[in-house]
Chain A
Amino acid sequence: MGKWWSALFGIVMLACLGMFMVAPFVPTWWLPEGVSTHSGQVDALFYIILYITGFFFVLTEALLVYFMYKYAGQPGTTPRPTEPAAQGGFYAMLHRWFPDAHRVEVAWTIVPALILLFIAFAQVPTWLEIKDRSRKPAIGGEKTPIQCHVSARQFEWRVRYPSSQRLRNWQTFTTNEKTIADFKSFASFDGAKPRHPHLDDVPVVNEVHTWKGQTILVQLNTIDVIHSFNVPHMRVKQDALPGRTIPVWFTPTKANTRYNEETKRWEDAFNFTTGKPDMGYRWEIACAELCGWGHHRMIGRIYVHENKADFYRWLEHVEQSQAPPTKPQQKVAAR
């Protein structure tokens, strides 16, 4: 009778395992396709851990179910003697502290320890590459990022780009001290406010643009509570902290934005391989830290243009449609 309990455990655990086996094949139940240069590494680490933990899940649950079946108590079973503790040189030493140590205990301590150490150290390079602030992309050379300022507030992302002219200056590889200083001044803040705002800065709301293969450096801050700049498709997540500006950078490997001649607008969620709109190519910035009642709908989008020319076409378009600078900006500049 008691043996049936092992079946209950077995079936439930198999159902759990089954769910993890099926989920990757259900389109919306698994990791969305990663579209940044580092997403492959993050996913690889995820899969390494998945396989290792999956192995230990199956091993330990199977042993539990098997023992529950095999050793289900029957009246009149003869009890079994306890195994003697291991003997011998190394164990003699161990026995001072662990008089009951068995060989198998040494094995199941050392093997998991090594595996865990491997898992831990395998994370370090990728983590530092993504987040270590001393590796933040700098101005100069081909790697020069485009830079924008994202200021979070309840419940939207206010984004500020430099003018196309300024951006072009940063991007020309013949940088001089003045350009470098200008690049840095863009990221200099007084609280959440830019310390050196320019009249021709380009503000947009809930949109972050870059182009395929171009690193974007987001200067992230917030004017009210903590928010989190979360772009699952790019494997990016960083809290915005009141009082601090935190750099976030990533490089998209695919484009999703084109100019739609019919609507006369730049539209995202476009799959360039199939040439059709595709919701799999909508890459949202979905706030991931509870920030109040509107938290769930604090959602922006990442627009990745096909190339540099297209990006500048967009930026200049916004510049023109907004010139002359709107009033609030003048006020800021006058301060």
Chain B
Amino acid sequence: MIQLLRTLGHLTVDGVWQVGFATRFLFAMLRHSGPSFARFSLTIRELYFSGVLSLVIIVVSGAFVGMVLGLQGYDTLQRFGSESALGSIVALSLLRELGPVVAALLFASRAGSAVTAEIGLMKATEQLTAMDMMAVNPIARVVAPRFWGGVLSMPLLAAIFSTVGVIGGWFIGVVVIGVDNGTFWSQMANSVDFREDVVNGVVKSFVFGWAVSLIAVFQGYDCTPTAEGVSRAITKTVVYSSLMVLALDFILTSFMYIGK
């Protein structure tokens, strides 16, 4: 019993420490973000590694999610004779929830883990210390560009995910099942609101981009500099960012759509 309480206390104190460190780290990073934009080629390189290299998984997953939505949506709607609403269902599900959330989860496991591994290994092999010794701040030179690369990639990836998903839903609904093409698009356009759905989706993915990127760079920078420490940090990145994305999604959804 005492042991249990002690473990609980230990976990709580540890958690608070971590959050405190992460916050200080975020401010230090923002303070040292100048070079990420002044020397934009640093960030471009990270846009390549976080964004371009995540494209394949985003496009493929988006297509499949859209096609499944097409099938399931049609199956459910035709019971009520409302197949015409298929376009709305597909587009709203993707824009509001699935696009931002699934893209962020994929991004965390594809790009976030890679960023953690890279920074963690640089730390373990003293590359960060070496840089510091050359009077080059590793937060400005290594960490901040990776953070901004992630933050900028995320909304674009989510938009690509949603678009590919809508096309996937259209392919199943219109091409394969034979819902009327005009009805599909016009119903969609009628029920999707630009501000309410498109802009809110982009806002969500932007917030997720911050969360996932911050967790990824922080775990890398904060890891124990050993092979085991790096692998533990990678696991933490994936687990923490997934939980964070889902929790933030709940909070954002309740602010954006409910109680208005």
Question: Are both chains from one complex?
Answer: no
What is A's interface to B at a CB cutoff of 8 Å?
Answer: none
